[in-house]
Amino acid sequence: MLDILEKKLTENQTTRKGLTTAEAEKRLSTDGENRLAKKKKTSAAKIFAGQFHDVMVMILLVSVVISVALGQYADAVPIVLIVIINAALGFIQEYRCEKTLEKLENMTAPTAMVYRDGRLVKIPASEVVAGDVFTLEAGDRVPCDGYINSSRALSCDESALTGEAVPAVKKCRTSEIDFTALNKDYMVYMGTVVTKGVGEVTAVATGERSQMGRVSTMLDEIKEPETPLQKKLGELGRTLAIICLAVCVIVFIAGVLRGEPVLNMAMTGITIAIAAIPEACLPR
């Protein structure tokens, strides 16, 4: 009788779905939470302040300070407006880029239905680990990458990863062993949405190791290089700045030596500085 009971217990252990709580906790401590890599966020104020680091903009700001110091407010106001509008355009572009990774983080599932200790329980998606068995149904967001053990009429919207508008039809895995590539019909991927059907899946990649995690990491590491045109414009801007300052100083000194009023020569220098800066050379 005891032999029969021991055999039954052994069968239950080998056929039990998913992991035990102890196994899951051990893997969670080893692999880390099922989250996308967090990029160090740049504050909006820092992005806006960065728009004023260009040499051309600095020349205009110095012109504003001198104009205000001399009481020429009518000349200072248009310059300030030009600088602020230019900074606002650059800020909008950079701020939108900064929000890209945050949108990816919002695409991850908040919870998952996972088998733990042989029971189906709801847990935070961040606690899902490789080896977990979880269930999916229409409307669910997939918590991590995994292969399909069983399914019925399962389809997923994978447009976030592939750009395909048509939901991908899924099937059960048979003997396939490639779990790292995209567009596999026996796989589901983190961040995608189940459009119809039901399925049972074994997790194989979580967090940064998932396809969505790789995309997030690549976006974080991308440093957009300057185009040849941008490099030429940068060189032109620096050259113009040097010439502009030199001409302003020469004109100011020459005018003062000729007996012209200092105030008039200062305003003439500012006018030359502003006129020498092409609008197209301002950073965006």
Over the stretch 125-157, which tens digit does the pLDDT of each residue have?
Answer: 999 999 999 999 999 999 999 999 999 999 999
What amino acid is encoded at 25 in this protein?
E
**Closest of 56, 60, 50 to residue 81, by C-alpha:** 60
Kindly indicate the confidence band of residue 85, based on its pLDDT and cuts at 50, 70 and 90: confident
Listed by start position, the domains of the chain span 10-26+105-219, 44-98+225-281
* More confident call, 4 vs 278: 278
| pLDDT at site 2 | 34
Ranking 111-120, 173-182, 252-261 by mean pLDDT, the lowest is: 252-261
Q: With 70 as the cut, is the pLDDT of residue 282 above it?
A: no
What topology is assigned to 10-26+105-219 in CATH? 2.70.150
| pLDDT at site 10 | 38
Q: At what angle do helices 73-98 and 55-69 cross, to 10 degrees?
A: 150
Whether the pTM exceeds 0.75: the reply is no
Kindly indicate the confidence band of residue 9, based on its pLDDT and cuts at 50, 70 and 90: very low
Torsional sign, CA 232, 233, 235, 236: positive
Over the stretch 180-189, which tens digit does the pLDDT of each residue have?
Answer: 888 899 999 9
CA distances in angstroms from 58 to 55, 87, 149, 218, listed in the order given: 5, 12, 63, 34
Over the stretch 181-235, which tens digit does the pLDDT of each residue have?
Answer: 888 999 999 989 999 999 999 999 998 899 988 887 776 666 666 667 667 767 7
- 214 CB-near residues (< 8 Å, 6+ apart): 208
* Rounded-to-integer distance, Cα 64 and Cα 66, Å: 5
Over the stretch 154-173, which tens digit does the pLDDT of each residue have?
Answer: 999 998 888 888 999 999 99
What amino acid is encoded at 272 in this protein?
I
CA distances in angstroms from 175 to 149, 170, 178, 201, listed in the order given: 11, 15, 10, 15
Dihedrals phi, psi of 111, to nearest 5 degrees: -140, 170
| pLDDT at site 12 | 38
